Amino acid sequence: MNRIDNLFKHKSNNILSIYFTAGHPTLTSTVDILSELESSGVDMVEIGMPFSDPLADGPVIQDASSKALGNGMSIKVLLEQLQDVRSKVTIPLLLMGYINPVLQYGVEAFCKKCSEVGIDGVILPDLPMNIYQESFQKYFEQYNLRFIFLITPQTSDDRIRMIDSLSSGFIYMVSSASTTGAKAEIESSQVSYFERVKGLGLKNPLVIGFGISNRETFNRACSYANGAIIGSAFVKMLTETGDWKDGIGKFVRGVK
């Protein structure tokens, strides 16, 4: 069974997912960070594939991406690093990034390699739904990878239902109209959007991301969804803490 499906089958709330950019802080830190996240009790991880022009990202992840590229990270290097990851890490792993590097790697080759190393799902925010259906879906299904779609406060109910019917794994609910970046609190306009989506009774689990940064925002988000994703706040910790191995446990304990 796909590990994402398995996770949501056995756990329906307070799912903590962490995003970090592969190749940052160092080229070889990726697998160590994954192990540390698993032993700290994180439920799921999104591994960022760095891109030169990350237009949905705020300054923290932009900076981590350009450092990672400077360190020599690429999809090829990342998938090599992950070759034996399943001997060390059992939680669901997703790759998240932008479409262009995946196109250059080759869509089918990418899906094949992801499934070989034990990746469970992929998030490519700038791959539109119609093009996914036309030329990507068949490979994702063939290699048992979940393709995760985003919804935002501007996504209409009709479109959310369409995304729900096309999705498997979970739906990534972007918390506000914004690029990635930590926010200190959740505002009332966000709450009405969370309630609206919750009220749609979707078949897929919902995970809220963007702007989730600490225990308060995580708990708030989890009261409307099955879980939440922390990205920029975690990446910032990695950037700023000299001893990030120690920092990961502390960070996760601060949230859960």
Partner 1 sequence: MNFSPNENGFYGEFGGAYIPEMLFANVEELQHKYLDIINSERFEKEFRRLLKYYVGRPSPLYYAERLSKHYKTNIYLKREDLNHTGSHKINNTIGQILLAKELGKKRIIAETGAGQHGVATATVCALMGLDCVVHMGETDVKRQMPNVLRMKMLGAKVIPAMSGNRTLKDAGNEALRDWINNPTDTHYLIGSVVGPHPYPDLVAKFQAVISEEIRWQLKEHTGSELPDYVVACIGGGSNALGAFYHFIDDKNVKLVAVEAAGLGVDSGETAASIARGTDGVIQGARTKLMQTADGQIIEPYSISAGLDYPGIGPAHAYLHNIGRSIVMDATDSEALKAAFELTKLEGIIPALESAHALAALPKMKFSASDVVVVNISGRGDKDMDTYIKAMGM
Active site positions, annotated: 46, 57
Contact status, residue 204 vs residue 169, Cβ threshold 8 Å? yes
Segment near partner 1 (CB under 8 A); pick from 138-146, 149-157, 196-204, 224-232: 149-157
Among 99, 107, 162, 237, binds partner 1 (CB under 8 A): 99
Q: DSSP string spanning 53-67? A: --TT--HHHHHHHHH
Q: Does 19 bind partner 1 (CB under 8 A)?
A: no
Footprint of partner 1 on residues 30-59 (CB under 8 A)? 51-53, 55-56, 58
Residues listed for the chain? 256
Among 96, 145, 174, 221, binds partner 1 (CB under 8 A): 174
Beta bridge partners of 20: 47
Identify the residue whose tokens are 């020599």: 72
Q: Does 178 bind partner 1 (CB under 8 A)?
A: yes
Q: Does 76 bind partner 1 (CB under 8 A)?
A: yes
Residue 202 corresponds to which tokens in the numbers above?
A: 């979707």
Contact status, residue 45 vs residue 94, Cβ threshold 8 Å? yes
71: left (phi over 0), alpha (psi -120 to 50) or beta: alpha
Q: Does 102 bind partner 1 (CB under 8 A)?
A: yes
Distance in angstroms (rounded) separating the CA atoms of residues 100 and 144: 22
Q: Does 132 bind partner 1 (CB under 8 A)?
A: no
Smallest gap from residue 215 Cβ to partner 1 (A)? 25
| AA identity, residue 81 | Q
Smallest gap from residue 177 Cβ to partner 1 (A)? 5
Closest to partner 1 by CB, 92 vs 211, is 211
Q: Does 130 bind partner 1 (CB under 8 A)?
A: yes
Q: Does 2 bind partner 1 (CB under 8 A)?
A: no
Q: Does 152 bind partner 1 (CB under 8 A)?
A: yes
Smallest gap from residue 158 Cβ to partner 1 (A)? 12
Distance in angstroms (rounded) separating the CA atoms of residues 211 and 102: 26
Q: DSSP string spanning 73-142? A: --HHHHHHHTTTGGGT--S-EEEE--HHHHHHH-HHHHHHHHHHHT--EEE-TTS-HHHHHHHTHHHHHH
Tally of CB atoms within 10 A around 84:
12
Among 14, 31, 32, 69, binds partner 1 (CB under 8 A): 69
| Interface residue list for partner 1 (CB under 8 A) | 51-53, 55-56, 58, 62, 66, 69, 74-76, 98-105, 125-128, 130-131, 149-152, 154-156, 159, 174, 177-179
